[in-house]
Amino acid sequence: MTAVRAGGDLGRDGLCSRFDSTGAETRVAVSRETRLPQHARDLIQRGWTQYADARAADNSIAHPCDGDAVSWSPLGALVAAVEHVSAREGEHAALGQLARTCTLLADILDTDSLEQWNDAPERARDDVVAALDQATADVPGQQANLPRFSPN
């Protein structure tokens, strides 16, 4: 298995690659506010792990942004997504999207620890993908009431 570099990459056309469980790719429109959770979701869809932020193909622990990473926890996928969005849109945009995504996930999952939630024995990749799908949903007005990130 190779590192995910294309999954979730946002094209200049505002479209993002979304991969289903079979690896089939679909290009979908992604709003500026949902690019980070969308990228994290696509990473998890391609490979999910527990008890580490990310893993390499040999199941060793890897940094989430490392080219050897092939599976991610939600936290690791968010770290990789922040780097991805930051490189494309700037750090301020990435951190704003991260703040909104974390606020949404805290409400969706009703937990104080994303790591503990992910590492629960009953957790499955589909649970994580569903949570990120919900955080990615671009429901009118849903994100308007969320706090905006301020660098100050």
pLDDT of 78 > 90? The answer is yes
Percentage of the chain beyond pLDDT 70 is: 68
**CA dihedral of 147, 134, 54, 69, whole degrees rounded to 10:** -110
Give the 3-state DSSP-derived string for 96-147, with helices as H, strands as E and coil as C.
HHHHHHHHHHHHHHCCCCHHHHHHCCCCCHHHHHHHHHHHHCCCCCCCCCCC
Look at residue 85 and tell me whether its pLDDT is greater than 80.
Answer: yes
Q: Is the pLDDT of residue 9 over 70?
A: no
Res 148: pLDDT: 40
What pLDDT does residue 55 have?
98
Q: Give 38-71 pLDDT, tens digit per residue.
A: 999 999 999 999 999 999 999 999 999 999 999 9
Assessment of whether the complete model's pTM goes beyond 0.75 = no
User: Looking at residue 72, what is its pLDDT?
Assistant: 98
With a cut of 80, say whether residue 84 has pLDDT above it: yes
pLDDT of 141 above 60: no
- Of residues 18 and 73, which shows the higher confidence score? 73
Domain spans of the chain? 15-136
Per-residue model confidence (pLDDT) at position 19: 52
Residue-wise pLDDT tens digits, 89-137: 899 989 988 998 998 898 899 888 999 999 999 999 999 999 999 988 8
